[in-house]
Structure 1
Amino acid sequence: MDELDAVIIGGGACGLMCAVQAGFLGKQTLVLEKNSKPGAKILISGGGRCNYTNLYSSSANFISKNDHFCKSAFSQWTVQDTISFFETYGIEGQEKTLGQLFPVTNNAKDIVKVFTELSRELGQEIRCNADVTSIEKISTGFRVRYLLNGSEATIDAAKVVIATGGLPVQKMGATDFALRAARQFGMEIEQTAPALVPLTITGKDSEWFAELSGNTVFCRVWNDRISFEENILFTHWGLSGPAILQISSYWKPGEQIFINLYPKEDISEQISQDRISNGKKTLLNFLAGIFTRKFAEALGKFLPVDKNLASLTKEDINKITQLIHNFKVKPAGDKGYDKAEVMRGGVATGNLSSKTLEAKTVPGLFFGGEAVDVTGWLGGYNFQWAWASGFVIAQNL
């Protein structure tokens, strides 16, 4: 192999974009990918359909100790740049909901194919089954040691890019490599936690949630920091669905979350109207007209569902209003990294230049993608960060 400009550790979204963009600039890179094929998390994202960006992506959709850190990368590589890049190589996007963009083919393999074909055309090698064991600083740059199909190998390069992702999902090859490498070079780590992850319910209410498993309800879910309006899904172990995954990134153990089960209407007003026209209707039948019958029946644990609307007292209506519009849940925990979409926290942004993503104290060492303390919402945002950070790093190799 000709003299390398950089070794890119990790053949996911950030690493693949970095290799291709470096190739456009005439730079020679080698991607070392632990799995047997590149783009493992791309292939499973969005149920194998790959929600590859979001039309409304901005720094406001990301969690970081430094909210401004990602702005430079997003100004260098915009959502329109992502759309144009994929369109150039045959991927037309279609919006599903809330700005989420998927390939019209609904096939994540098409996204990965763009990168594998471009890498081949540009002479950028992707070496799979390559498990990096160490990085060492040497006079000419870095020495990277790795196992290739079980055999030890080394390679030297002027620069190294760490794009190995976060801690989810272990069966996809996820490790703490990026965090260990950062610590090795004296960098700080923002505390990590599973994000975009289902929440668990235990104790006296767990059976109530479990019996509703499979029911979805469009809700507004909030805490004192943020709110989201999307579906929630009841499961046999607690709560999932888009709104729950979103709020989970802002939830801390021991905290409550609040759920408005009927966010588009005022339930007390609707009861008042229905009392006039159909006072004999039971509260159960009234609720079954809003929710599923099963969910309406389950609310009977908390509400006088056998009463007809005309006989509901002021106290009853207040109780109904509070429960429906201000349903309180105190999750016991979350389902962990293997059920999380992404990792919150990571390599502290203070270690890196926001303009280049190069380590301030280790020239030639770059971090991008999920490994960095920049965590997006559900819906294509994390891919946008991966593409942008890969592009930015490539410009500076």
Structure 2
Amino acid sequence: MTANLTKQTDFDAIIIGGGACGLMCAVQAGFLGKRTLIMEKADRVGAKILISGGGRCNYTNLYASAQQFISQNEHFCKSAFAQWTVEDTISFFETYGVTGKEKTLGQLFPVSDKAKDIVKVFTDLCHDMEQEIWCDTEVKGIDQTGDGFTITYERNGREQQINTAKVVIASGGLPVQKMGATDFGLRVGRKFGMAITETAPALVPLTITGKDQPWYEQLSGSSIFCRVWNDRISFEENILFTHWGLSGPAILQISSYWKPGEYIYLDLLPDKNIEDLIQQEREVNGKKMLLSLLATLYTRKFAEALSDHLPVEKNLASLSKADIEAISQLIHEFRVKPAGDKGYDKAEVMRGGVSTDELSSKTLEAKKLPGLYFGGECVDVTGWLGGYNFQWAWACGFVIAQSL
């Protein structure tokens, strides 16, 4: 198909990707009197926003700071967060009718519990400021030209081209393919000689295979509050047993810090000491069976599952010192060696991406190629679960817009 070159001079920048970063960038550029065009591959913008948080959208976190982000350069995100704060996010959405409510651990959701309210803020503002949005538009390639860039794209069944002085890559990461996710941002980076930090699924369930799988499978659907840790970090939140392994907030969190072949550890009773509980109970009723004690701490189903590992047929008085030490180790240091993870289609985000060494931390412009910007998930900055990645996306959109 012959490409039709469209001369275009009325856009200050073209934004590739109509997700959180791209939408914020278009709106903030509009506030500054700049005109942008969003090219979105899907049939609507904000697709990932709409499914986040079960359709409720945890759009920021009250405690967001550089400490909750993983990157080869832990300081890189500080500049963006200094320019666009959590308070800025809250104020922005409140100005346009979305008030937040805190659920747990600083997680902020719209009072309406409707992610579509977040997207509507952006689509309304884009409409009011005449920021163009083209959906069902797939960018095929970007080429550097003398005075900027030529973008080749397919729209309405036709392959066409458009010229622009500045391009913003806000195309997301590899999760979730059924939502239209691709490696487009990484491919653009590679094409222009930029380093890519190794990518992997993050905030993703972990799998258990082999002889241990049946034990997890029998607990499928059971949830328990735990401390989950490795030698780098720990989290205290619920875990969820599944027929293929482990999920739940604490597991998703630790998955970003887990590498294949490593163990993770679970404290199944993080707020109490099992040895103390055994000692206290045996003084009152030494004939009480260990299983009965465990059934007061967990569901009966979970207590019985622990029977596979513990001397539950013994009463408390007959437990030896070695027995109690073994019980304590199992309860407070339950060792898990995941076989792998559930991959990008079950991951919340992608870890890694365009190397921060390639970008200005102040503007997110490519150092080697002025006029080309990268923001959001395709950059090597990955947040924790709980609204952190949205805060990064909003900050990126704001920062990039300032220098378009």
Q: What residue identity is the alignment partner of 1:310?
A: A
Q: 1:306 aligns with which of 310, 313, 319?
A: 313
Q: Secondary structure at the match of 2:369?
A: coil
Match of 1:191 in 2: 198
Match of 1:49 in 2: 56
Does residue 146 in structure 1 map to residue 176 in structure 2? no
**CA displacement at 1:149 relative to structure 2:** 3.0
Q: What residue identity is the alignment partner of 1:113?
A: K
Match of 1:160 in 2: 167
Q: 1:131 aligns with which of 128, 132, 138?
A: 138
Q: What residue identity is the alignment partner of 1:141?
A: G
Q: 1:255 aligns with which of 259, 262, 284?
A: 262
Q: Secondary structure at the match of 1:67?
A: coil
Task: Give the TM-score, by structure 2 length.
Answer: 0.98
**Contact kept in structure 1, 2:9 and 2:164, CA below 8 Å:** no
Please list the CA deviations of residues 294-316 of structure 1 after superposition, one character each: whole Å capped at 9, or x if unmatched. Answer: 00000011001121111111111
**CA displacement at 1:24 relative to structure 2:** 0.3
Unaligned runs of 5+ residues in structure 2 are: 1-7
Does residue 116 in structure 1 map to residue 123 in structure 2? yes
Cα distance between partner residues in 2 of 1:306 and 1:17? 60
Cα distance between partner residues in 1 of 2:313 and 2:102? 44
Does residue 75 in structure 1 map to residue 85 in structure 2? no
Does residue 273 in structure 1 map to residue 293 in structure 2? no
Q: Which runs of 4+ in 1 moved over 3 A?
A: none
**CA displacement at 1:280 relative to structure 2:** 1.7
Identity among equivalent positions (%) equals 72
Match of 1:204 in 2: 211
**CA displacement at 1:150 relative to structure 2:** 2.4
Match of 1:322 in 2: 329
**Contact kept in structure 2, 1:193 and 1:344, CA below 8 Å:** yes
Task: Give the TM-score, by structure 1 length.
Answer: 0.99
Q: 1:28 aligns with which of 24, 29, 35?
A: 35
Q: Secondary structure at the match of 1:126?
A: strand
**Contact kept in structure 2, 1:73 and 1:354, CA below 8 Å:** yes
**Contact kept in structure 1, 2:225 and 2:239, CA below 8 Å:** yes
**Contact kept in structure 2, 1:3 and 1:157, CA below 8 Å:** no
Q: Secondary structure at the match of 1:84?
A: helix
**CA displacement at 1:2 relative to structure 2:** 5.6
Unaligned runs of 5+ residues in structure 1 are: none
Q: Secondary structure at the match of 2:58?
A: coil
Q: What residue identity is the alignment partner of 1:27?
A: K
**Contact kept in structure 1, 2:40 and 2:136, CA below 8 Å:** yes
Coordinate RMSD, CA, aligned: 0.7
Match of 2:230 in 1: 223
Cα distance between partner residues in 2 of 1:345 and 1:2? 35
**CA displacement at 1:138 relative to structure 2:** 1.0
Q: 1:86 aligns with which of 93, 96, 113?
A: 93
Match of 2:5 in 1: none
**Contact kept in structure 2, 1:133 and 1:146, CA below 8 Å:** yes
Q: Map 1:231-246 onto structure 2 (within 5 A).
A: 231-246=238-253
Please list the CA deviations of residues 242-296 of structure 1 after superposition, one character each: whole Å capped at 9, or x if unmatched. Answer: 0000000000000000110000011100110000112221111100100110000
